[in-house]
Structure 1
Amino acid sequence: MKKFLKIFAVVLLIVFVYLRIEIYPQLDLISGFSAKSVASGHFIDNRSLETIQKGDNDIPKVDWATNEIDENRKFTTSKVYGLKARKAIYREGLGATLINDDFEVNKPYNVPKRIFLKNSLPYPFGNNNPIDTVFATIDYAKLQKAVENAFDKEGEKNKRTRSVVVIYKNKLIAEKYASGFTATSKILGWSMTKSITATYFGILQKQGKIDIMKPAPIAEWKNDERKNITINDLLHMNSGLEWEESYTKISDATKMLFTAEDMTQPQIDKPLVGKPNNSWNYSSGTTNLLSGILRKQFKTHQEYLDFWYSSLFDKIGMNSALVEVDMAGNFVGSSYGWATTRDWAKFGLLYLNEGHWNGEQIFDSSWAKYVATPTNGSNGKYGGQFWLNAGGKFPDVPRDMFYCSGFQGQMVAIFPSHDLVVVRMGLSEAFDFNAFLRDVVASLEK
C-alpha cells in the first residue's frame, strides 16, 4: 500500500508540474481567444453565445473557457476553470478589442467615417440583387454538385463550410450558405486580412505617396543591420527577421494577438536571423508592422482610420467590411477583417479585374501582378501578402490561381485564366480545396 501511495504521489507531482509548466501559461491565451471570439461574433454578427460556443469556440483548449456577455456595457469576459479572466470590449466602428487591466474603457476614441455605396447597379458592382445570367459554356449540374459537395450532409461536422460564392465573368453564378448563415452574415477572414492590408500599399503607390522599394521607416532599425529591410521585403514576408508563427502553443503570433497592447511593435523588436529578400518566413507580426507603417503615412489617427474605408471598402461597396483595432488604435491587419461572403468576393473581383472598378482604377494593374509573383524562397507558394498556386500546392487547380487564405480554411481564390473568383468560408483546415476548386473550374468547361 505504501509503495502504491508513493507511486501515486510521484504521478500526481508529475501531472502537477506538467500542468504548471505547460498548461497554466497558456490560460491567458485561451481565455483571451475566447473573450475576443465571443465579443466579435456576438456584437459584429449578432450570434448568440450558444452558437459561438458550439460553432466558433469548439476547438481544442478554447472549449475549456466559460464566457459571459454584458449586453449593456458591450463587453465579454472569459475564464478557464475560473482562472485567468480576460475581457474584450466592443466599440461601434472599431469592432471588438481584447483589453488588459490598464486599458481606459471610458477614454474617447476615433471612429472611421463611412460612406456607403449607393448606386443602381446589381451585385457585384452594386449592392442590389444580382442579375440572373446563364452562360452556355457552364455545366450548371456540375457546378451545383461541386458547391453542394463543399458542405456537410445533415448530421455531419467534417467539412464545416459556412458559405460559398462563385463569380464568373463578373456575374454571380453560384451561392450557398450553411444553416444559420445568410448573404448578410459577417464572417471573420483571419489571415485573409493580410491581403487587404497589402492593398493599401498598392493604392498609395498609385497615388504617388509611397515607394515600397525604400527602406522601411522604422527608427529602431536605423543604426543596425535591419536598416536595409525594405517595405517590399515586408510585403513579401522576406525581411529575414525572426518570428515564430504557431497557433497550437505560446508563440510570437499568439502572444501578439492575445497579450500585446500595440501589435505593430512585436516584429520591430525581433533580430535579423536571415538575409532580406532571401529568407521567406510567414509572419503575422510583419503584417501588423505594415499596418503601423501605413499609420505613419498620415498626419492624424483619424486620417489613418478613414483611409482604410474611403480608399477601398466603401469605394467598391464592401459596406459590411470591418477591420478591428488593437488597444493602441492600430488596425490588426494580420487577422481581424470581417465581411459578408459576397463582400469578400468583391475584394477578389477587384484583383481579378486588376484594380479596375466601375470606371475607376483603385490600384495600378501592375500591382495585381506584383502580389501574384512568387517571392524568393517561397517555392512558388507566396507573393505579396497573397498565397499562390504557382508551385502546385493544389495539383489539379490552375497554376495562375492566387488567393487570400485564413485560419480554419477561409479562402478567396482568383483565377485570371478563367475569369473566376471562388470564396469559401468555414471552420476546417482539413477541407479539400484541391477537389472543390478543381470541380468548380471543371464545370466551366462544358
Structure 2
Amino acid sequence: MKKYFRISAFVFLVFLGYFGFTNYPKLELISGFSAKSVASGHFIANHTQNFIEQNDDAFDVIDWATNEINESGKFATSTVFGLKKRKAIYRVGLGATLINDDFDIAKPYEIPKRIQTKNNLTFPYGELEPKDTVFANVDYAKLNEAVANAFDTKGNNYKRTRSVLVIYKDKIIAEKYADGFTKNNVILGWSMTKSITGTLFGILQKQGRYDIYKPAPIAEWQNDNRKYITTNDLLHMNSGLEWEEEYDKISDATQMLFHDKDMSRTQLLKPSIYKPNSHWNYSSGTTNLLSGILRKQFKTHQEYLDFWYSALIDKIGMHSMLVETDMAGNYVGSSYGWATTRDWSKLGLLYLHEGNWNGEQLFDPSWAKYVSTPTNTSHGRYGAQFWLNAGSHFPDAPRDMYYCSGFQGQMVAIIPSMDLVIVRMGLTEEPQFDFNGLLIGIVGSVRK
C-alpha cells in the first residue's frame, strides 16, 4: 500500500510539474482577459458577473479564473487558482482598462467630449423608430426563416447568436434578438473596431490632412528599411513587419492586449522580415500602431480623444458606441469598440453610401472602393481594415460583399449590389456558426 501511495504521489507531482511548466506562464493572460472582460461586461454592458462568466467567458481556459467586482471602486479583479491577480478599472468615457501595479489610478485623465444632437428623423439618420416599410420584391417568409435559423432553438446552445439585423435600402426589414437582449444592448465588436480605426484615415484624407501613401511618420524607423513602410501598407496589413496573431498561447497579440501599457508601440518595435506589399499578415498590433499614428496628428491628447467621436462615431449617430483605451491613453483600435446592433449597422450604411451620411460626405467615394479592393497576397480575403468576399470565402454570397469581422462571430456585412447591410452579433464563429447559410438565406429573399 505504501508503494502504491508513493507511485501515486510521484505521478501527481509529475502532473503538477508538467501543468505548471506548460500553463503557469499563461495564467497572467487568463486572469488579465477575465478581469478586463468582467469589468467591461459589467460596467459598460450592465451584465451581471454570473452572466459574463456563464456566457462571454465560458470557453477554453478562461473559466479557470475567479473574479470579483468592486462596485464602489469601479473595478474587477481576477486570479487563476489564487495566482497572477490582475485588475481592470472602469472610467466613464474611457471604458475598462487592464492595469499593472505601476498604474496611478489617482492621476487625472481626459475623456472624449461627446455631441449627441437630437432631430426628428427616423433610423438610421435619427433616434426615432423606423417606419414600417414593405418591399414588394422581398420574400418576408423566407427572410424571417433565414434570420430565425441563426438563433438557437429551445434547449440548444451552440449557435449563440445575440442579434441579427437586416437593412435594405436604408430600411430595417428584419431584426431579431436572443432572450435577454434588445436593440438597446451594447455588444463588443472586437476586431470590427479595426474598421472604425481605418475609416478615420479616410476622413483625414478627405479633409486634406493626411496622405496614406507617404512613409509612416514613425521616428524609430528612419534608420533602417522600415522607413519605406507607408500608412497604406499598414492599412492593408502587408507592412512586412514581424507579428504573431495567436490567442491560445503567449503571442504578440496576447502580450499586447493583456500586458503592454502602450499598445501603439507593440508592433512599432517589431523588425521588418518582408518587403512592404509582398506578404499579407493579419495583425492587431498594426491597427493599434495606426491608432498611435492618429494620435500624433493632433496637438493635444484631448483633440485625439474627441476626433474619433466628432468626425465619425457621433457624426453618424453611433451614440451608444464606446471605444476603450489602454494605460497610455490610446484607443485600442484593434479590439475594444462597444455599440448596439443598430449603431454597428450605421458604419455599414456609411460605406454602402460611399461615405455620404444624410447629405454630408465624410470620406471620398473612392475610399469605399479602396477598403474593398483586395490586398496583395491576401487571396481576395482582405482589403484595408475590412474583410472581403472577393475570393469567395462565402461561396453563396455576392463577391462584392465586404465586411467588418470580430472575434466570436461579430459581423457587419456590406453588399453594394444588393443595397443590403447585414449585422450578426454572437459568441460563435465558423464553422460552429454557418455564416454562408445566413447570408444566402437573406440574399435569396431579396429579388433584384
Give the structure-2-normalised TM-score: 0.98
Matched ranges for 1:360-375 at <5 A: 360-375=360-375
Q: Hey, what does 2:191 align to over in structure 1?
A: 191
Please name the residue that 2:440 is paired with: 438
Tell me the residue number matched to 1:313.
313
Q: Is the 8 A contact 1:117 1:126 kept in 2?
A: no
RMSD of the TM alignment (CA)?
A: 1.1
Letter matched to residue 444 of structure 1 = V
- Percent identical among aligned pairs is 70
Deviations along 1:304-333, whole A, 9 cap, x unmatched? Answer: 000000000110100001100000000000
Letter in 2 for 1:341: T
State whether residues 117 and 316 of structure 1, in contact with CA within 8 Å, keep that contact through their aligned partners in structure 2. no
The residue aligned with 1:295 is 295
Corresponding residue for residue 12 of structure 1 = 12
C-alpha distance in 2, partners of 1:382/1:208? 26
Structure-2 separation of matches of 1:405 and 1:282: 12
Cα deviations by residue, 1:323-378 (Å, 9 ceiling, x for unpaired): 00000000000000000000000110000000000110011100000000001010
Equivalent position of 1:166 in the other structure: 166
Once the two structures are TM-superposed, the CA of residue 5 in structure 1 deviates from its matched residue by 5.7
Q: 2: CA distance between counterparts of 1:279 and 1:394?
A: 23
1:218-233 equivalences in 2 (<5 Å):
218-233=218-233
Report the secondary structure of 1:167's partner residue: strand
Give the whole-Å Cα distance in 2 for the aligned partners of 1:37 and 1:89: 11
Using the alignment, how far apart are the partners of 1:232 and 1:7 within structure 2?
A: 61
Question: 1:359 corresponds to which residue?
Answer: 359
Partners of 2:315 and 2:63 lie apart in 1 by 39
Aligned ranges for residues 11-410 of structure 1 at < 5 Å? 11-410=11-410
Report the CA distance between 1:4 and its aligned residue.
5.1
1:403/1:412 contact within 8 Å kept: yes
- Displacement of 1:8 in angstroms is 3.9
| 1:13 CA displacement | 4.0
The count of residues paired between Structure 1 and Structure 2 equals 446
Shift of 1:445: 2.0
Alpha-carbon deviations, 1:238-285, whole Å to 9, x = none?
A: 000010001111111001000000000110111111110111000000
Q: Residue 45 of structure 1 aligns to a residue in which SS?
A: coil
Q: Distance in 1 between matches of 2:276 and 2:2?
A: 62
**Whole-angstrom CA distance in 1 between matches of 2:414 and 2:65:** 37
Letter in 1 for 2:130: P
- Cα distance in 1 between the residues matched to 2:117 and 2:233: 35
Q: Which amino acid aligns with 1:348?
A: G
Give the Cα–Cα distance (whole angstroms) in 2 for the partners of residues 276 and 6 of structure 1: 59
TM-superposition CA deviations, 1:90-136 (whole Å, max 9, x none)? 00000000001110001100000000131111001111101100000
Greater than 6 Å deviation, 4+ residue runs = none
Distance apart, 1:82 and its partner CA = 1.1
1:11 CA drift (Å):
3.1
Partner secondary structure for residue 191 of structure 1:
helix
Instruction: Tell me, yes or no, if structure 1 residue 413 matches structure 2 residue 413.
Output: yes
For residues 170-225 of structure 1, give each alpha carbon's deviation from its aligned partner in whole angstroms, at most 9, with x where no partner exists: 11111010011110000000000001000000000000000000011111110001
Query: What SS does structure 1 have at the residue aligned with 2:190?
Result: coil
Query: In 2, Cα distance between the equivalents of 1:412 and 1:188?
Result: 13
Q: Offset at 1:2?
A: 7.4
Is the 1:117–1:315 Cα contact (8 Å) retained in structure 2? no
8 Å CA contact retained: 1:188, 1:337: yes
Structure 2 counterpart of 1:28, one-letter code: E
Aligned partner of 1:433: which letter?
F
Q: Given that residues 117 and 319 in structure 1 are in contact (C-alpha distance below 8 angstroms), is that contact kept between their aligned partners in structure 2?
A: no
Unmatched runs of 5 consecutive residues or more in structure 1 = none
Deviation for aligned residue 1:415: 0.1
CA contact (8 A) 1:355 1:361 kept: yes
Q: Please tell me the residue identity of whatever aligns with 2:135.
A: F
Unaligned runs of 5+ in 2: none
| Equivalent-residue separation in structure 2 for 1:252 and 1:21 (angstroms) | 20
Contact 1:139 1:443 in 2 (8 A): yes
